[in-house]
Structure 1
Amino acid sequence: MDSLALVILNYNGQSFLAKFLPAVLAHADGHPVYVADSASTDGSVAFLRAHFPTVRVIELARNEGYAGGYNRALDYIRTHEAPFDYYALINSDIDVTPGWLSPILSVMASSPTVAACQPKIRSYQQRDLFEHAGAAGGFVDWLGYVFCRGRVFATFEADQGQYDDNRPVFWATGACLFVRAKVFHQTGGFDASFFAHMEEIDWCWRVQRLGYEVWTCGQSVVYHVGGGTLPKSNPHKTYLNYRNSLFMLYKNWPADGRLWLRIFLRLVLDGLSSLLFVKVGQWRDVWAIIRAHFAFYAHLPQLNQQRRALRQQQTHAVSLFPRSIVWSYFGQGKKTYRDIVDNRK
């Protein structure tokens, strides 16, 4: 039995497959490579069958985003292919490097409590800089805002070896995410209602509530184009990020009576953040933030059910970063992870 399946979820990404799939195959160390296609209309499936016959193609009936797509793909592999110990979920716009797999697999195998791990994510365009999606491992502050070692908001550090360690983090990026198959299926996978963006952070939060750990591996590095399916400036991406952040916070926040205070503060801070879009005339993004909050309120019945179920299943307490990343970054001028976590500055 092979221990690892490398799985790429594709939606109209033929150009990325042509560019980056050869490296994945070259550095797969003999592990099987799957491409799960989300009903692409750009000829991706025919292209794969013609040019990459060793790739195992899974044809999904429709595009259900990152969350639903991977849920269906990994269920298919478990049911119709073979059992694996681990899955590597790889974006189609990831450029892998020689020897990238073995350090991460060593971390995953080090303890049965390690449920997920990521490599360092650098920018494909500026290869010495960390990339937005995950950098060297992520954290969540007490208001649900996310940040990374190597990337805080719009500040991207150069990779100078400062994050070459292997260590636990709060979340690992979905751009290149290794998961323990047993835990993924045990938890029901990603929350499909997220569609895309932050579903991996929600999943990392949930697995930690069950006593598992999430790690980052500094000995492995990949490069990420970013915005392959939804460009960074896309209003729908803005909508999903703001909405899903609220979904995640509401579902997972401990029952300490302060949840709605945080929701209110998020409403205020999200409103202030929309002024940045007003400044550059991106009115569709402003409307996306407004819609995200209304969508959150509309989903409260469903979120309440999920919140109750997660509280009943929880076995371990989970700690968030105890201060506001927004205040640290914009109010105190602390632009890097190390500056922010060192409270003496």
Structure 2
Amino acid sequence: MDKIAVVILNWNGVKLLEQFLPSVVQFSEEATIYVADNASTDDSINFVRQNFPTIKIVQNSGNHGFAKGYNDALKHIDAEIYALVNSDIEVTANWLQPIIQNFDAEIQTTIIQPKILDFKNKEYFEYAGAAGGFIDKYGFPFCRGRIFDTIEKDNGQYNDNCELFWASGACFFIRSKTYHELGGFDESFFAHQEEIDLCWRAANEGHIIKYNSGSVVYHVGGATLQQGNPRKTFLNFRNSLLMLVKNLPKKGLFFVIFFRMVLDGIAGIRFLTQGKFSHTFAILKAHFSFYCLSLRYLKKRKDFQIQQYYTVKSIVYLYYISKLAVFKDIFNSKQNIKN
């Protein structure tokens, strides 16, 4: 069994592999590197074989998205720690050592995220994860370093190791034993929110999720599905509701989901006023899909759910009404109410 396996999920991403594989190979001497390919139709596999013969290839039977793509590939990879890395990630020197040391020193820590900065603007945090994630009472995710569309400059304010609620799937470290015991990612999600769902299920089982600033990577972000894509809107809104059904505490379950759906409706109206009709339709489609899947997801609920899963009551209120757009301002505010 390898100590750590770096696993890069790929689908028709030969240009990204050309650009970013060199840094992974250069700075990952401790790891065995894999490309897990979701049945690409471009020249991805030939490129890897010809230019990086030490990289191992796992070929999936189809394009099953992020969730099933990783689930299928990791069945064939024997390692103590999985490093799940997007194909648009540039890693840096010594990015693995702090993570390995963290796992070795803290047995209960089973998931870790590094510091994720913006490849295109390297002084700033990147949208998908930044310095680690949390959610509010209604399931809206936010990060240290990124609240909705406000992204902070990295001034060393998050140069620490701290406990999180969720770690970004852009660069996601997890003990293989934990991954398989939890059943991996929820394959019905296809993509988006699946890492938050997995972290929530891990927290319900008593596992600890951490952020380690000693490891730094740069993420392009949106390289496979752009931020303004209605498909992404659909997946985010639908998967967030499914995640709530699975993981919320029983007390207040239906009220929280109802109120979240009201907030989704307000978001849909906001898209309408901006002329983004396809995004409003995506939210309606997400809710219809949620109705069809909700009974199945109620059956996925476990016997125990942590009661205090959220960090603030409403990040929507704090951001849009109270105009608090920076993480430290939110936690210095009296608005930080958890009940």
Correspondent of 1:137 among 132, 136, 143 = 132
Equivalent residue in structure 2 for 1:227, among 222, 231, 238: 222
What is the rounded CA distance, in whole Å, between the counterparts of 2:82 and 2:158 in structure 1? 24
Contact 1:208 1:318 in 2 (8 A): no
SS at match of 1:299: helix
The alpha carbon displacement at 1:276 in A equals 3.2
Structure 1, 139-148 or 44-53: larger mean CA deviation: 44-53
Matches within 5 A, 1:119-268: 119-256=114-251, 258-268=252-262
Q: TM-score, normalised by structure 1?
A: 0.94
In the alignment, does 2:76 pair up with 1:86?
Answer: no
AA in 2 matched with 1:60: N
What per-residue deviation string (whole Å, max 9, x for no partner) do you get for residues 31-90 of structure 1?
11000000111121111111111110111100111110000111111xxxxx32100000
Equivalent residue, structure 1, for 2:314:
324
What does residue 302 of structure 1 align with? 296
What is the Cα deviation at residue 228 of structure 1? Answer: 1.6
Greater CA drift, 271-280 or 210-219? 271-280
| Per-residue deviation, residues 151-173 of structure 1 (Å, max 9, x unmatched) | 00000000000001001100000
Q: Are 2:277 and 1:283 equivalent residues in the alignment?
A: yes
Partner of residue 27, structure 2:
27
Residue of structure 1 equivalent to 2:323: 333
Note the residue ranges of structure 1 that are not aligned, 5 or more in a row.
Answer: 78-82
Q: Does 1:344 align with 2:323?
A: no
Q: In structure 1, give the amino acid aligned to 2:128.
A: A
Cα distance in 2 for partners of 1:151, 1:282 equals: 23
The one-letter code of the counterpart of 1:47 is F
- Report Cα offsets for 1:153-200 as digits up to 9, x if no partner: 000000000001001100000000000111001111011011100100
Residue 69 of structure 1 corresponds to 69
Report the Cα offset of residue 14 of structure 1: 0.6
CA shift, 1:275, in A, is 2.9
Task: Please give the TM-score of this superposition, normalised by the length of structure 2.
Answer: 0.96
| C-alpha distance in structure 2 between counterparts of 1:284 and 1:294, whole Å | 15
CA contact (8 A) 2:249 2:305 kept: no
Q: Which runs of 5+ in 2 are unaligned?
A: none
- The aligned amino acid for 2:141 is V
Q: How does 1:94-113 map to 2 (within 5 A)?
A: 94-113=89-108
Give the letter aligned to residue 15 of structure 2: S
What is the distance in 2 between the residues matched to 1:253 and 1:344?
Answer: 25
1:209–1:317 CA contact under 8 A, matched in 2 = no
Shift of 1:278: 1.9
Size of the aligned set, in residue pairs, is: 335
Inter-CA distance 56–150: structure 2 relative to 1 (3 Å threshold):
same
Letter of the structure 1 residue corresponding to residue 275 of structure 2: G
Q: Which runs of 4+ in 1 moved over 3 A?
A: 314-318
Hey, what's the Cα distance between the residues in 2 that align with 1:152 and 1:316?
24
